[in-house]
Structure 1
Amino acid sequence: MTRPALRLAPVPLLACARAVQVIFRLLPGMGLCAVLAALAYGLQAVEIRLYGRAWLEALNIALLLGVGVRACIGPRAGLAAGIKCCARTLLNVGIMCMGATFSVGAVLRAGPGLLGGVACIVVFSLAFTCCVGRVAGLSPARTLLVACGNSICGNSAIMAAAPVIHAREADVGATIAFTAAGGLVVVLGLPLLALPGLDNAGHGVLAGLTVYAVPQVMAAASPFGAGAVQAGTLVKLMRVLMLGPVCLVLSVLYARAAGHAGGRCGSVLRLVPWYIIGFGAMMGLRAAGVVPPCAVTGLNGLATGLTVLAMAALGLGVELRAVLCAGRPLVVTVVVSLLGLVGASVLLVQLAGGR
């Protein structure tokens, strides 16, 4: 008696069934993040209508909303997969898209002197913050996150560097909360810092060297005119341009410290996160003229939207008690790091303006 042949479902059908299962598993958490992101954009629009500018951007609003919802409902197993996808995968896609928003030509036209000055400020701020964090007794992971956030571009740099150094979500959330507060103080106080002998463009450069996000740079530089806004935006883009090299160096250093580094180029490439490689590739494609201007606008909006979504997800993964218990070392590191960044930037701008 022969056994009946087993009928197996076609491979495409099985793949579709598994994809549907994954989607249904991700939908609850991703849906909650999307709702919080939309609410953050709405509250930012209310700010702009009432005050003429967004004192607290959608990025930070989404983080605060996520932390608040997490404090109210606690961790939910059914939401974890979608929240994790937004906080990691979608964020990495957003960082990659961000590369298309930078004009290498504009940076090169500004001259090597300005680019070199920006690079020196970033390197100084990184080294200075690491020293401050070590003296203050802050953990190495949080120290590096503060250093990247203050030196480069705030939330985006922190979230880009976190996977590279294997930082915990509690570290990321606490760091972003305190650096965002410090950055807001810089935005509000910088227009009041009228330096003698410094023209409007110089004040714009100072804003670009010290303020986190491009909209915040525009807000801090706007009292000094359109020229200051243009100069500040260009310098800010140069700072963000350092994100890729810094993450690359951190990847190699962290791997060597863990004993996984290799001497070949292929080994180094495997240490670099894929989204950093994608960031550089998108930047190169725009420089080559492959990415049209209309697509740049769309990619910029996509990168911003995915980052806001990720901020909501990060907030949902943060335990408020852990943030409140961050303690004096984190506060001291953030404050002294910002003071060092502002002081070094003022010195550089005055020296350059005096030539």
Structure 2
Amino acid sequence: MASRAIHVRSSIQGRALGRQGARVLRRFVPGMLLCLVVAAVAWLAALGESALLGRAWLEWLVLAIILGAGLRTAWRPPRAFDPGIAFAAKRLLEIAVVLLGASLDAASLRQSGLALLLGIALVVFLALALGYGLGRLLGLPHRLAVLVAAGNAICGNSAIAAIAPVLGADGEEVTASIAFTAVLGVLVVLVLPPLMALLQLSQLQYGVLAGLTVYAVPQVLAATAPISALSVQIGTLVKLVRVLMLGPVILMIACLAGSGKGMGAARRRPAGAKLLPWFILGFLGMAALRSLGLLPELARSGMALTATFLTILSMAALGLGVDMRTVVRSSPRVCLAAGGSLLLLGAISLGLIAALGLA
């Protein structure tokens, strides 16, 4: 009799949990599906762009957030979409950041020389500090100034997407910073090759300059492929070192935000998980596993593909949370900050090339 009562209670509890799970699922499905639709349209647009122009100048990530923001500006989704959009913008992005750690291999960096590695780190931190200072000088809010500076200093959209959760940045701040780094990323790819002759750079020097200033790895390839294979190789390597700096920069920003000191921190964060978010630990842990050879190639490929998919969904969600009319009102200062930060990055990069005596 007692066992039957226990079985009945278990059955009732199981059905209750099932109903609760179904309610939770229904709560998130509408917004997630909308993000998926926006991401799919971005993918189709990128394919069409490649077919018409020979390459996708605007990547999926950029197109997803632009399309999402455009849709949100023209149409306010019903409130039933909000939970799924918020989940995609935050949690899925954090998971993607963890998975991105599996694509970093510190072992391959040792071959390029300690001086160059240290120089790249110095360039990143100088560009971050100067870019942040310029943004604040132009009147940008603290979080937006950090995002613009980090996007220029490290790896454009990926850095902005990874740092935004640490800062607690909202969708409008992320969209504003990504919108201008997207435009500037394309301009850098177009402008750099003519600068090689103007500045009388060697193939090696040009590769270093491209790796230090271009935002995304595909854009580095686009900027260096017309020059030489050496420029492609060194540019890609330098770019990967910049990407590797994302972990230390996130840790630094989290610590500064937690202590309330430096870079104009506007609020104090508590210690523990708030000071060092779980996805940062996951990112560094994945990078360590990759460097130790504990992640098989098939697993790394799957993680990279999953990270890309989740990031695109997250960018679509961020766009869907933003009314572009609000962003446009602040665009002149953001444009000046992003452009000025990029010029500072270029000047620092040329200084490093001269200081190292690269030929």
Q: Same fold (TM over 0.5)?
A: yes
| Total equivalences in the alignment | 346
Give matches, 1:296-311, under 5 Å.
Answer: 296-311=300-315
Instruction: Give the deviation of 1:145 after TM superposition.
Output: 0.9
Give matches, 1:271-350, under 5 Å.
Answer: 271-350=275-354
Give matches, 1:69-88, under 5 Å.
Answer: 69-88=71-90
Instruction: Give the deviation of 1:281 after TM superposition.
Output: 0.5
More deviation in 326-335 or 125-134? 326-335
Q: Which amino acid aligns with 1:223?
A: P
Give matches, 1:1-150, under 5 Å.
Answer: 8=9, 10-150=12-152
CA deviations 1:263-307 (Å, max 9, x no partner) are: xxxx4x651111111010001111111101222222111111111
Report the CA distance shift for 1:261/1:11 in structure 2 as closer, same or farther (over 3 A). same
CA–CA distance in structure 2, aligned partners of residues 68 and 82 of structure 1: 18
CA deviations 1:163-213 (Å, max 9, x no partner) are: 212222211111111222222211221122115553223212211101111
Say whether 1:211 aligns with 2:214: yes
Report the CA distance shift for 1:56/1:137 in structure 2 as closer, same or farther (over 3 A). same
Q: Which amino acid aligns with 1:36?
A: V
Q: Calculate the aligned-residue CA RMSD, in Å.
A: 1.9
More deviation in 43-52 or 113-122? 43-52
CA deviations 1:300-340 (Å, max 9, x no partner) are: 11111111111111111111111110143222211110110
Report the CA distance shift for 1:347/1:68 in structure 2 as closer, same or farther (over 3 A). same
Q: Which residue, out of 217, 232, 239, partners 2:235?
A: 232
CA–CA distance in structure 2, aligned partners of residues 312 and 336 of structure 1: 28
Q: Which amino acid aligns with 2:257?
A: Y
CA–CA distance in structure 1, aligned partners of residues 358 and 95 of structure 2: 43
Q: Which amino acid aligns with 1:248?
A: L
Q: Which residue in 2 is equivalent to 1:187?
A: 189
Instruction: Give the deviation of 1:66 after TM superposition.
Output: 0.4
CA–CA distance in structure 2, aligned partners of residues 317 and 343 of structure 1: 36
Q: Which residue, out of 216, 222, 225, partners 1:222?
A: 225
- Contact kept in structure 1, 2:204 and 2:358, CA below 8 Å: no
- Contact kept in structure 1, 2:171 and 2:319, CA below 8 Å: no
Q: Which residue in 1 is equivalent to 2:263?
A: none
Q: Which residue in 2 is equivalent to 1:245?
A: 248
Q: Which amino acid aligns with 1:276?
A: I
Structure 1 residue runs of 5 or longer lacking an equivalent are none
Q: Which residue in 2 is equivalent to 1:255?
A: 258
Q: TM-score, normalised by structure 1?
A: 0.92
Q: Which amino acid aligns with 1:247?
A: I
CA–CA distance in structure 2, aligned partners of residues 16 and 201 of structure 1: 61
CA–CA distance in structure 2, aligned partners of residues 316 and 89 of structure 1: 16
Structure 2 residue runs of 5 or longer lacking an equivalent are 261-266
CA–CA distance in structure 2, aligned partners of residues 118 and 220 of structure 1: 19
Identity of aligned residues (%): 43
